[in-house]
Amino acid sequence: MNRLNGKRTLITGGTSGIGLETAKQFIAEGARVAVTGTNPETLAKAKAELGEQVLVIQADAGNIADQKKIADAIQEGFGGLDAVFINAGVAEFRPIEAWDEAAFDKSFNINVKGPLFLVQALLPLLSNPASIVLNTSINAHIGMPNSTVYAGSKAALLSLAKTLSGELIGRGIRVNAVSPGPVSTPLYGKLGLSNEDLQKTASAILAQIPAGRFGEPSEIAKAIVFLASDESRYTVGAELIIDGGMSTL
């Protein structure tokens, strides 16, 4: 299909998991794609996997100066943008007693501050019409133990999707959100848990999913393709929950 034919697109955190799969689907739908990441090794792997036509940008998702750097690279490479998937994020789970200011700031810098200032930096480049999709989380809705800061940051990002949708629609820019439940991505391997604790955590989460399994990145990416395409041109300020029924319990 060619639902994104010729569209200039940006995916932050596009070197693994949901971001990488979305990049693949964007390309399959005819889009020109730029991805961001921090790790030179995963950036190189993404370039090799996605193809030489993809614009790869090294940037720290929580650093304000790097958001301007992304905008400059897009200006030079594409001249403008038609769709943005703000996906880069961090998930850290701790009991409330274990949080400190530095860890709190890291989560909110990457999950909230960076996205806000990236949208600000990209505004002059966004076409009319354009689509922005924010990757939030089902944790913004459920009271999962040890997710205090992560859930708070994703709730703030979801609020940002709604407020920006009202603010930017007059410019022809639609803002929407996807809120995935647990998905089989490398994110869970970055939680700092031992293999044993990781298995216990995965089993406990799985027991809360009526669908009986974790989601696949491709299932989230298909929803993002829809929201980035003109098929969703009447969808504004919406949240698409994709969680296998987890939030219904």
| Contact indicator for 68, 119 with CB cutoff of 8 Å | no
Computed over every residue of the chain, the mean pLDDT equals 94
Token pair belonging to 86: 């703000």
pLDDT at 249: 72
Predicted TM-score of the model (pTM): 0.94
> What's the pLDDT band for 202 if we cut at 50, 70, 90?
confident
List pLDDT tens digits, range 224-237: 999 999 999 999 99
Domains, in order of start, for the chain: 8-235 (3.40.50.720)
Is 150 a catalytic site residue? yes
Lowest mean pLDDT among 31-40, 63-72, 207-216, 220-229: 207-216
pLDDT at 103: 98
**Catalytic residue from among 147, 150, 157, 173:** 150
Distance CA 31, CA 225 (A): 10
Distance CA 206, CA 194 (A): 18
Residue 127: Cβ within 10 Å count? 16
Distance CA 172, CA 168 (A): 7
| Contact indicator for 66, 89 with CB cutoff of 8 Å | no
Q: What is the DSSP string of the chain?
A: --TTTT-EEEETTTTSHHHHHHHHHHHHTT-EEEEEES-HHHHHHHHHHH-TTSEEEE--TT-HHHHHHHHHHHHHHTSSEEEEEE---------GGG--HHHHHHHHIIIIIHHHHHHHHHGGGEEEEEEEEEE--GGGTS--TT-HHHHHHHHHHHHHHHHHHHHHGGGTEEEEEEEE-SB-SGGGGGS---HHHHHHHHHHHHTT-TTSS-B-HHHHHHHHHHHHSGGGTT--S-EEEESTTGGG-
* For residue 180, cis peptide bond before it (omega within 30 degrees of 0): no
pLDDT at 243: 96
List pLDDT tens digits, range 169-200: 999 999 999 999 999 865 555 455 567 767 77
